[in-house]
Amino acid sequence: QKEVEQNSGPLSVPEGAIASLNCTYSDRGSQSFFWYRQYSGKSPELIMFIYSNGDKEDGRFTAQLNKASQYVSLLIRDSQPSDSATYLCAVYSGGGADGLTFGKGTHLIIQP
Amino acid sequence: DAGVIQSPRHEVTEMGQEVTLRCKPISGHNSLFWYRQTMMRGLELLIYFNNNVPIDDSGMPEDRFSAKMPNASFSTLKIQPSEPRDSAVYFCASTFTAGGNSPLHFGNGTRLTVT
């Protein structure tokens, strides 16, 4: 059973600080890693993806991947109240579309 | 690009009734997915289609659930008979390639309540 683990939270961060969201996965053969943001009552939307070890930056968002530790994280700099949402980590392990496994998400609250 | 379109947005029905959820994927996408989301279990893949053909339905809970994709622009998920434990948000998603390497585009979901 391929597992993707996230701390459910809530994770409370003051406005302007860095929010750090973490995700671990069980399958060492995992190839691709995605972060989706889901506002309450809305659908998940993709905000970042990363395939290689290291950091990938996009605006205020940075995804970090460490395959040796089976760990992927999402950093949000200068966090804003509009960043308050649930963040879902998704990991692709190959073998077709059923190889994509979602974590249950971390609920992030940015305090004004 | 209108995005993935799902209907209805909300469905309330009584136990034992038939429920049909509908989805129109993004034009040009060749893979379509049905997910179910609950607080307890998170997002679960029910079934996915590639080029209108069902590839993997191992996530379908039981025979009460069925899905069809008669053409590239339309899919249905049917529950018959419905039960209270089917209450959840059902998402349809589409993408361009069959593999899970491609980001998914989700519809707005159908919130199903079975009483």
Write the pLDDT tens digit of every residue in B93-108. 999 875 566 889 999 9
Question: What number of other Cβ atoms are within 10 A of residue B77's Cβ?
Answer: 23
Question: What tokens does B56 get?
Answer: 């993997």
* Cα-based distances in Å from A43 to A2, A108, B115: 23, 16, 24
> Are B107 and A43 an interchain contact pair (Cβ–Cβ within 8 Å)?
yes
Average pLDDT over residues B67-88: 97
CA distances from A17 to A14, A75, A79, A111 (A): 6, 10, 6, 10
Q: Do A46 and B104 touch (CB under 8 A)?
A: yes
Report pLDDT for A95: 72
**pLDDT tens figures, A89-98:** 999 987 766 6
Of B19, B21, B72, B69, which Cα lies nearest the Cα of B48? B69
Q: What is the pLDDT of residue B57?
A: 86
Chain B residue whose CA is closest to A43: B108
pLDDT of residue B1: 63
A40 to chain B: nearest residue by CA? Answer: B108
B106 chain-A contacts, CB cut-off 8 A: 43-45
Q: Tell me the DSSP string of B5-57.
A: EEE-SEEEE-TT--EEEEEEPPTT--EEEEEEEETTTEEEEEEEEETTEEEE-
Q: Evaluate whether B35 touches B56 at the Cβ level (below 8 Å).
A: no
pLDDT tens string, chain A, 112 residues long: the values are: 789 999 999 999 999 999 999 999 999 989 899 999 999 999 999 999 999 999 999 999 999 999 999 999 999 999 999 999 999 999 998 776 667 899 999 999 999 9
The predicted model gives B74-85 an average pLDDT of: 97
Whether A96 and B55 lie within 8 Å, measured CB to CB:
yes
Asked if A44's CB is within 8 angstroms of B48's CB, the reply is: no
Q: Chain A window 34-93: which residues touch B at a Cβ cutoff of 8 Å?
A: 34, 42-46, 49, 88, 92-93
pLDDT score at B99: 58
Q: What is the pLDDT of residues B19-75, one digit of tens each?
A: 999 999 999 999 999 999 999 999 999 999 999 999 888 889 889 999 999 999 999
CA angle A42, B105, B1 (to 5 degrees): 100
- Any B CB within 8 A of A30 CB: no
Question: Which whole number is the average pLDDT over B3-28?
Answer: 97
> DSSP state, A45?
E
Q: What is the pLDDT of residue A94?
A: 77
Put simply, the answer to whether B55 touches A102 (Cβ < 8 Å) is: no
Query: In chain B, which residues have their Cβ closer than 8 Å to the Cβ of A34?
Result: 103
CB atoms B42 and A102 under 8 Å:
yes
A105 C-beta neighbours (distance < 10 Å), count: 25
Inter-chain CB proximity B101 and A32 less than 8 Å: yes
Placement of tokens 């009552």 in the chain: A41
